[in-house]
Structure 1
Amino acid sequence: MHKLYDFMEARERLATIAVKTRLIHSSVYSQETGNDVYIKPENLQRTGSFKLRGAYNKISKLTEAEKACGVIAASAGNHAQGVALAAQRLGIKAVIVMPRHTPLIKVEATRQYGAEVVLAGEVYDEAYEKACELQEKHGYVFVHPFDDEDVIEGQGTIALEILEELPNADIILVPVGGGGLISGVAAAAKLKNPQVKIIGVEPEGAASAKAAVAEGKPVNLPSVSTIADGAAVKLIGTKNLEYIQNYVDEIVTVSDYELMEAFLLLAEKHKIIGENAGLLSVAGLKKLRVRGKTVVSILSGGNIDVLTIASMITKGLVVRGRIFTFAVNLSDKPGQLVAVSEILAEQNANVIKLEHNQFKNLDRFHEVELVVTVETNGEDHIKKITAAMADRGYTIHRISSNEFNEHD
């Protein structure tokens, strides 16, 4: 376990490469949660993620003999870029093994930093196995993304920055994937201020830390399913679990839909783009059961491709009730479509899309299905539209977020 001066020395080591990201006050989340909320924007870090901190700290501490061997890492993307840039700065060969379905933006960014990229496996854990094979075959030094004391030490520098800028912070929310970030942040924060509360946030579909805490040992999840690809880890690190047990107060989970909503709010209200895994702690703000506290949410990364951004915005609008899609059965006779359009116009609902399907209903000679997508001001507006339709004798079926893609 680290001492406070270990993290302070790591901060000095990182002084020439890491950006000291300044806290951003969020009036939006402060109002929504009843707390005084700040965002730590590590998406503005070099390489677009906090991972550079741990990677550079680790590699810079290698002996000359170890540096001569070169380094290897397995990563879903952000650790890859951190290792690649750190190795480039220090003049060391770097090989990165990434899952085959890693977003192209992360693969190309890693190559641009001069690393050799090997694509293998479907998820991080399979890429990790391949990296271990290559490490044994070629004698590279392995730079683990989270289960490593020097990496943990580097990530902990984030907590020092937070508490120096905001000494009265009551709660720090931290994304959890493999556990490296929360290990460093929790240890450094508690050593500097034992009263600060640390809450980890991980995806519902990859809750390896929550499972490990419950069992008292790392648990290998049978599968993971989450849009937060950077946190899709089946097995939390052994060292990381020990840090969590010693320093973390609570772990909560969030759904993919809560991540979509968080993405939309950050983009729309703060003009900040976060990647899915990086948004975990922002989505976790709504899971707080306290009011009137000073809270910091670590936005851990912002490496996301443009197509994913478009999808996240659309789905976020659906989740927030800003896009409302509904189906209604109409009599198959002239004038019905006009009648529905008039109701929507009266309610100031902006029609985005109409799908008039005579063949949807088996009884096509009597009824047809109309699927309508409108832009609204939120849930209260949706209730008014639904009531207005009911007053005119139309029963509508709301298309859920799960069904939305089928009609998109």
Structure 2
Amino acid sequence: MIELPPLTQIPNQAELLVTHEAIHPFVHRTPILTNASIDRKAGAKLFFKCENFQRIGAFKMRGAASAALRLRPEERERGLATHSSGNHAQAVARMARELHIPAYIVMPHDAPRVKVAAVKEYGAEITYCNNTPDERQAALDAVVRQTGAAFIHPFNDFGVIAGQATCAMELIEDTDVVLDTIIAPVGGGGLLAGTALAGRYFSRRAEVVAAEPKAVDDAARSILSGRIESNAVNLTVADGLRTNLGERTFAIIHRYVSEIFLVEEQEIIDAMRLIWERMKIIVEPSCAVPLAAILKHPERFRGQSVGIILTGGNVDVDRLPFGQS
């Protein structure tokens, strides 16, 4: 196991390369899929980086592994802790199991059942809370005081950002054409910040853009205002994108992401269904937000080679949004 030094500032190219090497034993190098039918509909050549095939079913495994490997041995032995509605919770729980240490996870009462079940299966101890930022943090603080476990933030951590950057690094390296654009969804911003850094350091020309549900458009408003904005409510089918940006993710996104496209709830659902039906793969609603943006703005992407990060596939199949009447 390669132990990594802590990151106290925006990671540079060399640090991303070392991170990619270090987390290799804990993650899959996920495939890139294409689909001629969706290409025709979009008017562009799309390359889907399938993190729904990642360990724990989402890209979050990358950031959790990167952050955990940056802890000192005496910090790690007391266990890992975090708050999350699902995918990051699973990643921290799985990484703790890989390292043979305990995991303590704070989850909201309304977290998707499939994600709660997976966290339990990985052996983590779950503390439930109401789904507000303040209550999540208060519950986490109590757990950390009681256990001494090391907190791995879901996104606002340079180690996590470095891990998430490895997804786009692989996308750039494994795609057989030069990408014009890379698009990722944005919630807390860890993936988008990492994607922006990967694009800057490793791509010849790719512009990094993002997509976000209009119902929780804090990232788009933050880019416009130059400061971190928040949402009064967080109701969106894309449950993985309900969080606000952190100061570290915002600093990178504000500098390196050129545009954030907003999509409606029905557009997300329609794009999700399209992926299920045409590509024959399972993706969760958050995954579909970038494709929804491309289909909504065909003039922006027409004729381009576009890399899309499909972030995860942890969906409750008993509650599919496009199966509801």
Q: Quickly name the TM-score band, shorter chain normalised.
A: over 0.9
Task: Indicate conservation of the 8 Å contact 1:147/1:238, yes or no.
Answer: yes
Q: 1:283 to 1:129 in 2, by over 3 A?
A: farther
Q: Of 166, 190, 200, which aligns to 2:200? A: 190
Q: 2: distance between equivalents of 1:29 and 1:182?
A: 23
Residue matched to 2:309: 298
In structure 1, give the amino acid aligned to 2:168. A
Q: 1: distance between equivalents of 2:163 and 2:107?
A: 22
Q: 2: distance between equivalents of 1:25 and 1:239?
A: 33
**Deviations 1:51-109 (CA, angstroms, capped at 9, x unpaired):** 00000111022101111222210101000010001011112211000111011110010
- Structure 2: 5+ residue runs without aligned partners? 1-9
Q: Of 32, 36, 41, which aligns to 2:41? A: 32
RMSD of aligned alpha carbons: 1.5
Larger Rg: 1
Q: Of 5, 15, 25, which aligns to 1:16? A: 25
Task: Indicate conservation of the 8 Å contact 2:211/2:262, yes or no.
Answer: yes
SS at match of 1:73: strand
Q: Of 207, 211, 229, which aligns to 1:219? A: 229
SS at match of 1:57: helix
Residue matched to 2:163: 154
**1:127 CA displacement:** 2.0
Q: 1: distance between equivalents of 2:158 and 2:12?
A: 12
Residue matched to 2:61: 52
Matches within 5 A, 1:219-238: 219-233=229-243, 235-238=244-247
In structure 1, give the amino acid aligned to 2:309. I
**1:123 CA displacement:** 4.3
* Deviating more after overlay: 210-219 vs 42-51: 210-219
**Deviations 1:104-139 (CA, angstroms, capped at 9, x unpaired):** 110010011111011111246632332133224443
Q: 1: distance between equivalents of 2:198 and 2:20?
A: 11
Q: 1: distance between equivalents of 2:274 and 2:296?
A: 16
Q: Give the % identical residues.
A: 34
**1:296 CA displacement:** 1.1
Residue matched to 2:6: none
In structure 1, give the amino acid aligned to 2:179. A
Residue matched to 2:108: 99
Q: Of 208, 232, 235, which aligns to 2:218? A: 208
Q: 1: distance between equivalents of 2:160 and 2:92?
A: 11
Aligned length: 313
SS at match of 2:116: helix
In structure 2, give the amino acid aligned to 1:302. G
Q: 1: distance between equivalents of 2:24 and 2:245?
A: 29
Asked whether 1:272 is paired with 2:281, we answer yes
* Deviating more after overlay: 191-200 vs 252-261: 191-200
**1:291 CA displacement:** 1.4
Task: Indicate conservation of the 8 Å contact 1:75/1:124, yes or no.
Answer: no
Matches within 5 A, 1:360-399: none
**1:35 CA displacement:** 0.8
Q: 2: distance between equivalents of 1:280 and 1:128?
A: 27
Q: 2: distance between equivalents of 1:219 and 1:133?
A: 27
Q: 1:124 to 1:254 in 2, by over 3 A?
A: farther
In structure 1, give the amino acid aligned to 2:138. E
Higher strand fraction: Structure 1 or Structure 2?
A: 1
* Deviating more after overlay: 143-152 vs 111-120: 111-120
TM (norm. structure 2) is 0.92
Matches within 5 A, 1:45-194: 45-123=54-132, 126-166=135-175, 168-193=178-203
TM (norm. structure 1) is 0.74
**1:287 CA displacement:** 3.6
In structure 1, give the amino acid aligned to 2:188. G
Q: 1: distance between equivalents of 2:133 and 2:178?
A: 37
In structure 2, give the amino acid aligned to 1:222. A
**1:195 CA displacement:** 2.0
Q: 1: distance between equivalents of 2:323 and 2:11?
A: 44
Task: Indicate conservation of the 8 Å contact 1:275/1:301, yes or no.
Answer: yes
**1:290 CA displacement:** 3.1
**Deviations 1:357-382 (CA, angstroms, capped at 9, x unpaired):** xxxxxxxxxxxxxxxxxxxxxxxxxx
**1:196 CA displacement:** 0.9
Q: Of 237, 254, 260, which aligns to 1:245? A: 254
The structure with higher relative contact order (CA 8 Å, sep 6+) is 2
* Deviating more after overlay: 102-111 vs 129-138: 129-138
**Deviations 1:331-389 (CA, angstroms, capped at 9, x unpaired):** xxxxxxxxxxxxxxxxxxxxxxxxxxxxxxxxxxxxxxxxxxxxxxxxxxxxxxxxxxx
- Structure 1: 5+ residue runs without aligned partners? 316-407
Task: Indicate conservation of the 8 Å contact 1:77/1:98, yes or no.
Answer: yes
Q: 1:125 to 1:303 in 2, by over 3 A?
A: farther
Q: 2: distance between equivalents of 1:24 and 1:73?
A: 32
